[in-house]
Structure 1
Amino acid sequence: MSNNQPYITFHDGRRAPQLGQGTWQLTGEAVIPALQAAVEAGYRSIDTAASYENEAEVGRAIAQCGIPREALFVATKVWNDRHGHDSTKSAFQESLDRLGLDYVDLYLIHWPVPRGKRYLDTWEALIQLRDEGRARSIGVCNFQTGHLQRLLDSTGVLPVVNQIELHPYFQQAELRAYHADHGILTEAWSPLGRTQVLQDPVILELAHQLRATPAQVVLRWHIQMEHMVIPKSSNPARIQENFNLWNLHLDEAAMARIAALDRADGRIGPDPEKFPA
């Protein structure tokens, strides 16, 4: 196990591990051994969501992992059909109950759902949950600059993090620049581009040169870009491999080569302005 993983500080003063274990598409009994392997590898950050339908299993894994609750960073999310102040607060309590926890370290709005025009009410509920201490920090996922600006203009409170699709084929430079200007941390979901990026000739060449795996190269790129990042795997060997990044370094030339992989059509997941349709 490595103990030299970096932590990153939110604008609210709280800290989070920069590298976390994602749980999207992990279901049933597969959740517990995957998270046990992650904890043994050194992960202390776990990302889940109500829509993943695995919060109960994540909670069981947390209870069984042998790591004190205060040493873990746990994030979950409110789903699109629970937007609105009262509905969000009920959904949050349901998530806590499934997780078997008294609080989460980070609570996130999963998608803005702009057509519903209720994400501002949802955000106000998150602010209240933060003030009550049940959600230590609050953030969003998949918000665009206009959505973020509306939160600021309406409440004066910005999320500590925006979790967005981000990988070498889809780098979202304009949105990341807004984050940087406003003290919002960027967190990458689908950080490996659902493995498509791992077959890219540039990534394969860098991996060969550095005696690393393609996934390690891409994850190290995220770390050096100062993104939070949450790769997902159920394979214990791959979970350990993904965590072994701390002696790897990409020089300026390597970083520039990866930057050049950005594509106008690189999005893999849904468009936040249209999802759900």
Structure 2
Amino acid sequence: MIVPKFGIGTFRLTGQTVIDSVKNALDAGYRAVDTAQIYGNEAEVGQAIAESAVPRSELFLTTKIWVDHYAADKLIPSLKESLNKLRTEAVDLTLIHWPAPKMAVDIPVLMQTLLEAKKQGLTQHIGISNFNIALTQQAIDSIGAEHIAANQIELSPYLQNEKLASYLKAQNIDITSYMTLAYGKVLNDPLLNEIAGHHQASAAQIALAWALQKGYSVIPSSTQHEHLQANLKAQDIQLNADEMQAIAALERNGREVNPENLAPEWD
């Protein structure tokens, strides 16, 4: 895998909150940080990394290009601006944030421009986010699967997206799961709490362990030091086959994020 298994997400975190969250995460042992242009926090993330004791060379830093910058003459300048905010010469992974089919986005041109950014040394790896099978195939047809490191998609025990996940695995494209806790909805799930009891764990840890055992990377966000450390411990939990099968039965297509103009037709 190219993408580290465990990272800190920064969606919806701004100002001092995101600075503290990233610093605390790095102190706790996280070495991957996920941000995006539209989060409006790249400068704060860059500040937190600069002020931490962890050298940049030990971190895996991901950002995402926003739809306003998809034009061939805007993408690379916008990424350079992101690098400036993040205080780094290159990020480790740059993703196309949404395919935005209703905005008539030209996926082949978009991917070729992103590949050019990689060739210029602005990003170590490139990838996509929120792409369905058909649009991922367009991206592959444009630049080759070997250049697409990851697809970051919403996945949780309530939205398991097996068809898309299986397709991505067959293409050797890493899967990053976001919203793995379904905005916290899984925390009160009776089954997850029952399984958690067997492992002296929390429902959150069980949901994260489920995703990790499926082979996905996870990027939960938290502002609490104890939650950051607790989330990391999900890596030590081994769910048995019966438990994984029981969690599979929680599937209910419970999608939390579905912006009308940006989302594709989901598989």
TM over 0.5: yes
C-alpha contact 1:110 1:140 (8 A) present in aligned 2: yes
1:146-178 per-residue CA deviation (whole Å, 9 max, x = no partner) reads: 111111223334521000010000000110111
SS of the residue aligned with 1:58?
A: helix
- Aligned pairs for 1:60-139 within 5 A: 60-115=47-102, 116-139=104-127
1:180 Cα deviation after fit: 1.1
Counterpart residue number, 1:185: 174
Change over 3 Å in CA distance of 1:204–1:61 after alignment to 2: same
Amino acid at match of 1:205: E
Q: Does 1:241 align with 2:230?
A: yes
The one of 204, 207, 211 equivalent to 1:218 is: 207
Measured after TM superposition, the shift of residue 35 of structure 1 is 1.0
SS in 2 for 1:19: coil
Q: Distance in 2 between matches of 1:71 and 1:247?
A: 22
- Deviation, 1:81, is 1.4
Change (3 A) 1:174 1:196: same
Spell out, residue by residue over 1:76-105, the C-alpha distance to the aligned partner (whole angstroms, 9 max, x if none): 010011112211111101111111110000
Question: Is 2:143 the partner of 1:155?
Answer: yes
Q: Distance in 2 between matches of 1:273 and 1:141?
A: 15
Q: Which residue of 2 aligns with 1:261?
A: 250
The 1-side partners of 2:141 and 2:179 are apart by 30
Q: Could you say what secondary structure the match of 1:17 adopts?
A: coil
Deviation at 1:118, TM superposition (A): 2.6
Q: What whole-Å deviation, never above 9, does each CA across 1:133-152 have from its counterpart, x for those lacking one?
A: 21000011000111111112
CA distance in 2, matches of 1:38, 1:165: 22
Is the 2:112–2:142 contact (alpha carbons within 8 Å) kept by the matching residues of 1? Answer: no
Q: TM-score, normalised by structure 2?
A: 0.94
Give the fraction of aligned pairs with identical amino acids, expressed as a percent.
Answer: 38
Number of the residue aligned with 2:19: 32
Letter of the 1:31 partner, please give it. V
Give 3-state SS (helix, strand or coil) of 2:61's partner.
strand
Contact 1:84 1:119 in 2 (8 A): no
Report the secondary structure of 1:221's partner residue.
Answer: helix
TM-superposed CA distance for 1:224, in Å, is: 0.7
Whether the aligned pair in 2 keeps the contact of 1:111 and 1:272 (CA below 8 Å) is no
The equivalent residue for 2:39 is 52
Asked if structure 1 preserves the Cα contact closer than 8 Å seen for 2:99 and 2:262, the reply is no
Q: CA deviation at 1:272?
A: 7.4
Q: State which of 194, 198, 204 in structure 1 corresponds to 2:193.
A: 204
Cα RMSD after superposing both structures: 1.5
Offset, 1:271: 5.7
Once the 2 structures are TM-superposed, how far is the Cα of residue 189 of structure 1 from its aligned partner?
0.8
Alignment of 1:11-30 (within 5 A): 16-30=3-17
Deviations 1:49-98 (A, max 9, x none): 00000000000001011111110000001001111221111110111111
Deviates more, 1:61-70 or 1:115-124: 115-124
- Structure 2, unmatched stretches of 5+, are none
The answer on whether the counterparts of 2:212 and 2:218 sit within 8 Å (CA) in structure 1 is yes
CA contact (8 A) 1:142 1:272 kept: no
Q: Distance in 2 between matches of 1:246 and 1:189?
A: 16
- Residue 105 of structure 2 aligns to a residue in which SS? coil
4+ residue segments displaced more than 3 Å? 271-276
Looking at structure 2, the residues matched to 274 and 19 of structure 1 have their Cα atoms a distance apart, in angstroms, of 26
